[in-house]
A and B are shown apart, each in its own frame.
Chain A
Amino acid sequence: MSDLVLETRGLVKHFPITRGIVFRSKVGAVRAVDGVDLQLRRGETLGIVGESGCGKSTLAKLLVGLEKPTHGEIRVHGDDVTRLSGTAWRRTRRTIQMVMQDPYTSLNPRMTVGDIIGEPYDIHPDAVPHTGQVRAVQELLDLVGLNPDHINRYPHQFSGGQRQRIGIARALALRPEIIVCDEPVSALDVSIQAQVINLLEGLQRQLGLAYIFIAHDLSVVRHISDRVAVMYLGKIVETGHQAAIYEQPTHPYTQALLSAVPVPDPRLRGRREQIVLTGEVPSPADPPSGCRFRTRCWKAQPGCAEHEPLLEIRQRSSHPSACHFAEPHNVMRRF
């Protein structure tokens, strides 16, 4: 049995830009996700980092089937789910669930916690026999550290951290193997963040879950991830083991991103390298030719505008990096 639970090949999502109301014509496309290949193994956490607009949330939606890809394959246990329909599609979707960012808007305020967590059972009636549903929900509440007696309460009676636990319980209801977490802790206070991170880690150990962990907070991603992929304008620009990405980053964007993250240790003040990027992220509707990062890159040469660098292992990069001039440079080294 292969350990690979999820794989995407050339995954693309373009959102059309249209003009006109009666005679709609397509005048362009926002290339939100533009050719993403990733692999996820059983029990592993793949962190996906990038700044706003890099396509990481669209990627999450594609993976759980909330958006249909324009091109490409999403393989769960080797089966391409983009080709499935009907019963087969539904059955496969059970294995991959999602935890949303905002615990305030992702729970229906008019449903009780029991109904929210139990709703997956209405859609998949064969998952748990009808008579056992209440118990199943109570077990889930217990599993995520909430009081099973609170099954009839409403979301507003819970705090932000507790609501995120409800969201996690809902994602676990169908016993998935993969959970896509889209910024699961960014809306939470620092002291609550740690509670939810520890819960996710504990559940992973206990249930053997694989996580796609999407976040903009690079410290949180390092803490929880085994491997990390860095996205820029719809593409993965660098990927590898967390230690490789954080200590030996080879793509200039990764280096700039890491150097910009403040570290909670004043002794490092002025002793860390700071690469300040100039300019702004270009529009994904009109990305630069060749390498997409070249407009903000200090290493850019004329050739970068013509040849798009592939995400591959290079002479000076032992992990895949999409830069013609990839070379390791530890920006966190103290000097």
Chain B
Amino acid sequence: MNQEILLDVRDLHVEFRTRDGVARAVNGVNLRLHPGETLAVLGESGCGKSVTAQAIMGILDTPPAHITGGQVLYRGVDLLQLPERERRKVRANRIAMIFQDALSALNPVYTVGFQLAELFRVHRGTSRGEAKRRAVELLDQVRIPDARRRVNDYPHQFSGGMRQRVMIAMALALDPEVLIADEPTTALDVTVQAQIMNLLADLQRQRTMGLMLITHDMGVVADVADRIAVMYAGRVVEEAPVYDIYGRPAHAYTKALLESIPRLDHKGRQLNVIQGLPPALTDVPRGCSFHPRCAYAREICRHEEPPVYQIAPQRIASCHFVREVLGV
């Protein structure tokens, strides 16, 4: 793996100031992304994975969201300190993002060709004709059949999978080095999901792009990720290469999560259940935020926030009982 660091998120804090109180959605997240690598950010709803992505992209709604600390370094430059004009350039050219719901991410009153061509015209100053030609080329690259004709269609004329392809085309139009994909296949059927994940993997390989895949689907992650960061209640609780996490999880939450999913390849017995619910972000438990649901929890977990242990060169876990969870 290339050791150059494309994106370096350091100690990021985001809070939402609402009438019901302050929700600490992201509580000191550290993430690194290398060229050509796929980093999966895995977690359940409300764990802060999407907010982290939006903070990196600079598309959080402020208010209610406020970035209260940390840095987002892209090739050493802190994006959070850049003026909006500069930030916009980075957003289109360097870091792009795709979303779960392509229908609401695309503008319904313009053809997809217009929306794709607009990117070239605004950011590259390309002529109309040339921009249109490149739009067709892009649709072709994301394997939309009959691209020359479909370029004049509106988003609603495409199926779910095809719309997702259009959005990928749009994200990749200006050759970004980083692609953030927020649940890109969650709304799609499995056969279409397989097509889209294959497409993403191919495009990533061709461009040695860094891919940050935000998802809750442990099947998809096992198929495509190089490294995984598991998030819970606004923190990264474990980070490791994909084989290590599935083989020997080091955090009690990761372990419990893996034991709670049914498998396709054997019938299995009763599922292991994680009791209770993820915490409300306005009221995250003291100590380890997972302790009320944890099978390993003891007195110390209630009072002391677990430190981040480096358990192997590329592995960290934030659990008081790492050794016990690992079974060493």
Contacts and interface: CB of A to CB of B under 8 A. Distances in A.
Contacts of A276: 191, 194-195, 198
B264 A201 contact: no
Contacts of B257: 190-191
B308 interface: no
Interface stretch (B65-73, B85-93, B267-275): B267-275
Interface in A42-77: 51-52
A277 B260 CA distance: 30
Nearest to B259: A194
Interface stretch (A10-18, A215-223, A301-309): A215-223
Interface residues of B, number: 47
B219 interface: yes
B44 A191 contact: yes
Contacts of A198: 270-271, 273
The majority secondary structure among interface residues of chain A is helix
Contacts of A264: 218-219, 221-222, 246, 258, 261, 263
A246 B258 CA distance: 21
Interface string A253-274: 0001111111111111100001
Nearest to A334: B265
Nearest to B264: A219
Interface in B188-212: 189-195, 197-198
B113 interface: no
B189 A262 contact: no
Given A218-B190, A260-B194, A189 B223 contact: no
Interface residues of A, number: 43
B260 A263 contact: no
Interface string A150-166: 00000000010100000
Contacts of B277: 159, 161, 192
A311 interface: no
Interface in B121-172: 159, 161-162
Contacts of A259: 194
B189 A223 contact: no
Contacts of A128: none
A101 to B, nearest CB: 14
B220 interface: yes
A269 to B, nearest CB: 6
A190 B270 contact: no
Nearest to A191: B274
Given A193-B260, A219-B263, A260 B193 contact: yes
Closest 3 CB pairs of A and B: A262-B219, A223-B262, A194-B260
A266 B246 contact: yes
Given A189-B278, A194-B260, A274-B194, A219 B271 contact: no
